[in-house]
Amino acid sequence: MIKIAVLGYGTIGSGVVEALDINKEVIKEHAGQDIEVKYVLDLRDFPGTPIESKLVHDYDVIVNDPEVDIVVEVMGGTHPAYEYAKAALEAGKSVATSNKALVAEYGPELIALAREKNLNFLFEASVGGGIPIIRPILRSLNVDTIHHITGILNGTTNYILTKMFEEGSTYEEALKDAQALGYAEADPTADVDGFDAARKIAILSSLIYGKTVNFQEITTEGIRNITDVDMKYAKALGKKIKLLGITYNIDGKIYSEVAPHMIDKKHMMYMVDDVMNGIETHGNLLGDTMFYGAGAGKLPTASAVVSDIIDEVKHLHVNIPIKWDAEPMVLEDHTKHWSKFFVRVDAECEEMKTCFKLEQLTKLDDYPDEYAIVTEELTFEEFYSKIEGNSHIRSIIQVK
Ligand code: HSE
């Protein structure tokens, strides 16, 4: 029998407790023994619930209890999550977490500490919720040189964009709806401005390339500026707009970005709608792979956390190697990278029709005072120098 402690009894914490109960038998079969939740740490009380007798408010009770072998950190945020995770490892306990903020900021340090102590710091649920992606990157895709990894990594923004595409909602209406359904926070900044996706693509890229990709250095643009009119053009062009996190490896040069993209039906991400997540990789041997599933939610995320708990039970005091060094990954200047661009512009501005080799030129009957173009592929530097000073541009979106 292994005893664990769960830090945080919110959506994911309660999901972990529930998942361990619902799938008790199958989990025992894989772990080789029973897993018992000895403590749940939370600031709140939960009278009348099954965890009432396990609830503690003082972390010292957990960290000082030699019977606890695994600490499950599902509180979110960096503090005190970092201090708690570090203290657990120092006290000889492995840590499983779903916390992308913790992993993006302190991943290499906690991985190194776990290695030094012959323990484990695992974080499958930190990217893509329930989708298995971290284990495949570490154990299967490590044979390949990964030329790019592309992901729809944020369920909230994907829900908003899907709603705008399918129902013609404005950004504000779709955001309100996402908040009412509990997908978006009251302060939706981390989701809609792309910071959540940036942390997640930073984690995946660090694992692929073995060095630390600093999420703050990733060129990041969210979806706040996407309008219902942009969405109508996307539809007319046979495309959807998706917030993509992408890291490219071009002859050893690493570029990384988070930005909305117009993508067409031939792109695998086209079918990833609503709150679902999708992650695509391209390896030099394997070619394309696609991982698809629930990127958030109670039981899907709990499923990934419990898979880490099982691995930690099977490897008590045996470190599972994770290659992610603290050494910073140097990201290339993103303006040297290239894309095609969708540009909406006032009808009186003829210039846009001649300064690019146009791939497409579109007019919508409902908007006679403007038109849109799709440019050829060119670097950001070249593109922005061509449109410099043009005050007729209404929107710009990358096209894949
Ligand atoms: N806010 C995140 C999302 C939750 O919408 O994807 C899961 O990390």
How far does residue 192's CA lie from ligand 1's centre (Å)? 10
Q: Is the dihedral of CA 230, 239, 296, 114 positive or negative?
A: negative
The closest residue, in CA terms, to atom 2 on ligand 1 is 154
User: Do residues 297 and 19 touch, judged by C-beta distance below 8 A?
Assistant: no
pLDDT, average across residues 190-207: 98
Residue 186 has pLDDT above 80, yes or no: no
pLDDT, average across residues 33-60: 97
- The reported pLDDT for the residue numbered 299 is 96
Q: pLDDT for 167-179, tens place per residue?
A: 999 999 999 999 9
pLDDT band at 182 (very low <50, low <70, confident <90, very high): confident
Site residues for ligand 1, CB cut-off 6 Å: 129, 154-156, 191, 196, 295-296
The closest residue, in CA terms, to atom 7 on ligand 1 is 296
The closest residue, in CA terms, to atom 8 on ligand 1 is 296
Atom of ligand 1 nearest to the CA of 185: 1
- The reported pLDDT for the residue numbered 145 is 97
Pairwise CA distance, residues 257 & 244, whole Å: 8
How far does residue 1's CA lie from ligand 1's centre (Å)? 33
Pairwise CA distance, residues 393 & 93, whole Å: 56
User: Do residues 230 and 187 touch, judged by C-beta distance below 8 A?
Assistant: no
Atom of ligand 1 nearest to the CA of 190: 1
Pairwise CA distance, residues 73 & 82, whole Å: 9
- Where in the chain do CATH 3.40.50.720 domains reside? 2-129+298-314
- Catalytic (active site) residue 232: no
CATH architecture under which domain 135-294 falls: 2-Layer Sandwich (3.30)
Atom of ligand 1 nearest to the CA of 100: 8
pLDDT, average across residues 216-226: 98
- Where in the chain do CATH 3.30.70.120 domains reside? 334-399
- DSSP per residue, 352-379: GGTSS--SEEE--TT-TTEEEEE---EE
User: Do residues 123 and 206 touch, judged by C-beta distance below 8 A?
Assistant: no
How far does residue 154's CA lie from ligand 1's centre (Å)? 5
Mean pLDDT taken over the chain:
97
How far does residue 268's CA lie from ligand 1's centre (Å)? 21
- Distance of alpha carbon 117 from the chain centroid: 29
Q: pLDDT for 287-320, tens place per residue?
A: 999 999 999 999 999 999 999 999 999 999 999 9
- The reported pLDDT for the residue numbered 173 is 98
> Which of 74, 181, 183, 200 is the pocket-test mutation for ligand 1 (most atoms within 8 Å of CB)?
183
Pairwise CA distance, residues 51 & 42, whole Å: 11
pLDDT, average across residues 325-354: 96
What dotted CATH number matches 2-129+298-314? Answer: 3.40.50.720
Residue 184 has pLDDT above 90, yes or no: no
Fold of 334-399: Alpha-Beta Plaits (3.30.70)
User: Do residues 224 and 161 touch, judged by C-beta distance below 8 A?
Assistant: no
Query: Looking at residue 392, what DSSP letter applies?
Result: T
How far does residue 127's CA lie from ligand 1's centre (Å)? 9
How far does residue 296's CA lie from ligand 1's centre (Å)? 6
- The reported pLDDT for the residue numbered 222 is 98
Catalytic residue among 163, 200, 242, 340: 200
pLDDT, average across residues 175-184: 90
- Where in the chain do CATH 3.30.360.10 domains reside? 135-294
pLDDT band at 247 (very low <50, low <70, confident <90, very high): very high
> Which of 75, 98, 196 is the pocket-test mutation for ligand 1 (most atoms within 8 Å of CB)?
196
| pTM higher than the cut 0.85 | yes
Asked if omega into 80 is within 30° of 0 (cis), the reply is: yes
Report the percent of the chain where pLDDT is more than 90.
Answer: 98
- The reported pLDDT for the residue numbered 331 is 98
Residue 187 has pLDDT above 90, yes or no: no
- Distance of alpha carbon 294 from the chain centroid: 11
Pairwise CA distance, residues 373 & 164, whole Å: 21
Pairwise CA distance, residues 28 & 19, whole Å: 12
